């Protein structure tokens, strides 16, 4: 079983409007609704790849109930809280395809709720083959939360991937996660460098055992104990990048769980990410495209001398 943690789970709404004009009224022509937050997106892709997945984090209130009712393909191990889970609204401008994002803040987590989560997490980690810690922290959760969750997984000998940003990422990296997966902005914020190769190396020196940076349409750069690689899709892709980063995390974890070497992990992650961009539904991946792309990703680089 792979465990994904979504501390700030959401009900993601996608609204299509003919054209977004601030300070006017819009008729929404199409409404889509599904559970979200990065950890739940990762879980959905892992389940589609055939993995057993358990999801945890916090859910509460009416929105929390809707999130749980709509979970498919994953075992629900969410910890209930008194506050109400958040909604997010993505407003897609049908004319340009651009998205305007509105994110509710999420429930205030009490110290007792955080303790209940830590106990549940420790038990779940013991039965997991890998753990993904993903996304922002809801109010009330300590900023060093991910560092503690990384240490718990490492103590249990379970590989752990961290995908977050800002201070939670900075603190989490120092706890030595197996993989961190920042995008270019998050990597630059962490390291102060806008040069991805240099920045991934720098992020490793800060504690991460492997750093996989997602560079959008240019693919991935990875710095690991076993070597450094760059993995690129066969062609520049047009489509909706929503969820592409979560598909990278799912691809890395899936390949790790199957015992694949780093170049194959990166190929899978790039193919899944590209197949997510190509999917007509935001955050889903196009299975035919994925199977077609898997052998067409270019991985260059070198393994560290043994």
The number of C-alpha atoms within 13 Å of 287 and in the hemisphere containing its C-beta is: 6
User: Is position 185 annotated as part of the catalytic site?
Assistant: no
Site for a copy of itself in 184-243 (CB under 8 A): none
Q: Which is nearer to a copy of itself, 25 or 304 (CB)?
A: 25
Cβ atoms within 10 A of the Cβ of 205, count?
A: 11
Smallest CA-to-CA distance from 30 within 85, 72, 93 is with 93
Query: Which one is catalytic: 12, 178, 246, 286?
Result: 246
Q: Among the candidate windows 24-32, 47-55, 194-202, 265-273, which touches a copy of itself by CB under 8 A?
A: 24-32
Q: Does 28 bind a copy of itself (CB under 8 A)?
A: yes
CA 292 vs CA 47, 102, 216, 268, 297: distances in Å: 20, 35, 19, 11, 10
Among 24, 72, 295, 304, binds a copy of itself (CB under 8 A): 24
Among 76, 80, 82, 101, binds a copy of itself (CB under 8 A): 101
Calpha distance 190→99 (Å, rounded): 26
Helix axis angle for 111-126 and 145-155, nearest 10°, is 30
3-state secondary structure of 255: helix
Least Cβ distance, residue 14 to a copy of itself (angstroms):
11
Least Cβ distance, residue 280 to a copy of itself (angstroms):
20
Among 26, 68, 176, 209, binds a copy of itself (CB under 8 A): 26
Among 80, 82, 94, 100, binds a copy of itself (CB under 8 A): 100
Q: Among the candidate windows 71-79, 102-110, 118-126, 243-251, which touches a copy of itself by CB under 8 A?
A: 102-110
Q: Does 72 bind a copy of itself (CB under 8 A)?
A: no
Smallest CA-to-CA distance from 258 within 43, 51, 34, 11 is with 51
Q: Does 31 bind a copy of itself (CB under 8 A)?
A: yes
88 touches 64 (CB < 8 A): no
Least Cβ distance, residue 235 to a copy of itself (angstroms):
25
Annotated catalytic sites, by residue?
246
């Amino acid at each position: 079983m792979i465990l994904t943690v979504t501390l700030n789970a959401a009900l993601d709404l996608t609204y299509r409007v003919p054209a977004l004009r601030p300070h006017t009224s819009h008729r929404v022509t199409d409404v889509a609704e599904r559970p979200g937050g990065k950890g739940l997106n990762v879980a959905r892709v892992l389940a589609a790849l055939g993995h057993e997945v358990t999801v945890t984090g916090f859910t509460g209130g009416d929105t929390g109930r809707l999130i749980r009712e709509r979970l498919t393909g994953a075992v629900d191990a969410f910890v209930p809280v008194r506050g109400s889970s958040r909604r997010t609204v993505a407003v897609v401008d049908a004319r340009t395809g651009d998205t305007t994002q509105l994110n509710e803040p999420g429930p205030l987590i009490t110290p007792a709720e955080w303790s209940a989560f830590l106990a549940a997490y420790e038990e779940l980690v013991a039965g997991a083959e890998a753990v993904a810690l993903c996304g922002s922290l809801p109010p009330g959760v300590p900023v060093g939360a991910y560092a503690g969750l990384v240490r718990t997984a490492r103590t249990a000998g379970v590989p752990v991937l961290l995908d977050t940003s800002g201070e939670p990422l900075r603190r989490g990296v120092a706890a030595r996660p197996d993989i961190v997966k920042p995008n270019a902005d998050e990597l630059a914020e962490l390291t102060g460098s806008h040069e991805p190769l240099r920045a991934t190396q720098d992020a490793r020196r800060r504690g991460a055992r492997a750093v996989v940076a997602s560079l959008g349409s240019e693919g991935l750069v990875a710095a690991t104990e076993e070597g450094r690689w760059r993995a690129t899709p066969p062609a520049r892709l047009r489509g909706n990048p929503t969820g592409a980063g979560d598909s990278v995390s799912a691809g890395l974890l899936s390949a790790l769980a199957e015992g694949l070497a780093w170049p194959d992990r990166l190929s899978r992650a790039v193919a899944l990410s590209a197949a997510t961009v190509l999917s007509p539904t935001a955050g889903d991946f196009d299975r035919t495209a994925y199977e077609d792309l898997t052998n067409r990703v270019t991985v260059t680089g070198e393994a560290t001398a043994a």
